Amino acid sequence: MITAPRGTHDILPGAQFGWRDSARWQHLEAELRRISHQYGYVELRPPVFEATELFARGVGESTDIVQKEMFTIQPRGRAGGDGAGEPTLTLRPEFTAGLVRAYIENGLHNLPQPTKIFTYGPAFRAERPQKGRFRQFHQWDVEVFGAADAAVDAEVIEIGIALAKRMGLGDLEVDLNSIGCPVCRPAYREKLREHLRPHAHELCEDCQARLERNPLRVLDCKVDADHPAIRSAPVSVEHLCHDCRTHFDQLQRHLRALGIPHRVNPRIVRGLDYYTRTVFEVLHPRLGAQSALWGGGRYDGLIELLGGRPTPGVGFALGMERLLMVLDESAAPGPGAPRPDVFLAPLGAAARERALPILYALRRAGLAADIDYLDRSLKAQMKYAGKAGARYVAILGDAELARGVCTLRDMATGDQREVALESLVEAVRT
């Protein structure tokens, strides 16, 4: 038997599949679209794959994503060619770089600013699957281009929390940090190197390589998280320039005004090189080691780095699987499967043939309607309609059809009444 690739999952119909129930995904997608529009964000849909160079430059060549986790392919070229000379392509491991590319390429900077966009869909990373971490996963991504105000940072934190609350999830923890800017960060990075160099031989192999290229990444290491040298390392918030300190203080004031509890966590640096100033994570204890439901921050230099005008940016990506897993484990009520408004129960093949035009008329009227295609007994049809959650069953026998009526049964009360077929739409709607 051929099975799904490791680190992927099927989204299936039926509440018995828990967080993989397609009805739950549809509900989440509807809510994230609704709240995005409520906050003034518009949708941008980038390709699933981009030029590999985009992620190498945007995400950072020293990151684990670029070095270890990207799914990269070589195009075959035209007419069965070998693709020689064409750039390699990579399935997106994250959304921000592709959205920035689209912002620059399509001239969105010429629109009234700021540009507030959202998107959602699959992303791909070749990493070891575990709870809350997959090789194909889905994210809701929110970005604001063209606004440097700390109030915007607060907004992108708040919109994610608002979605989680709308889905019925509480007990969220917001961890916050500032990693400075090109003015103050170089001095901090050097202090961090000086602190860690005497302990380099004690660190994991990855951190030994990170120490010279990007020492902030050492603080994010899960292997060395409890190393004494990391616990005692200098923290970025104590080495901020005046502008970064002012921005960080303003952000915290905005969060307090919004009633969002938070804590400063100097170990949060995020795993991507493009971040400046604000970095944050929103956590839930039910995910254990992978407790971050979503995270993001500010990246004021990324648009310029990728060829655009100097433009501030801030955003986040929320793991949709992770959110649904936590909702499943917290017993938050799901939306339930879609219920038919009416199920047609014809008594025999001849009655079914005559009932099909009625079925199509009900659907054209905007009702969710279905019919038995298996020529089952009335008892079996009623049992199936009950399991499907149908509100009504319209029983259609030859005698009823000859008189232009059906027997309409209310599945909640068990009451039955005879209804003229020409009035069936109205009867089901009431």
Token couple for 87: 């750039």
Give the C-alpha separation, 266 to 275, whole Å. 14
Helix then strand count (H, E) for the chain reads 16, 16
The backbone torsions φ and ψ at residue 267, rounded to the nearest 5 degrees and listed phi first, read -90, -10
Give the C-alpha separation, 120 to 95, whole Å. 9
Q: Is 96 annotated as a binding residue?
A: yes
Helix (H) or strand (E) holding 127: none
Whether 371 and 321 have beta carbons less than 8 Å apart is answered as: no
Whether 158 and 258 have beta carbons less than 8 Å apart is answered as: yes
Q: Is 95 annotated as a binding residue?
A: yes
Between the alpha carbon of residue 111 and those of residues 32, 38, 146, 330, the distances in Å are: 24, 20, 10, 43
Q: Is 143 annotated as a binding residue?
A: yes
Q: Is 49 annotated as a binding residue?
A: no
Q: The tokens 């507030």 sit on which residue?
A: 116
Give the C-alpha separation, 332 to 335, whole Å. 10
Q: Is 274 annotated as a binding residue?
A: yes
What is the SS3 assignment for 283? strand
Q: Is 407 annotated as a binding residue?
A: no
Query: What are the CB-based long-range contacts (under 8 Å, 24+) for 410-418?
Result: 411/385, 411/386
Q: Is 275 annotated as a binding residue?
A: yes
**Residues at the annotated binding site?**
94-96, 125, 139, 143, 270, 274-275
Binding positions for L-histidine: 94-96, 125, 139, 143, 270, 274-275
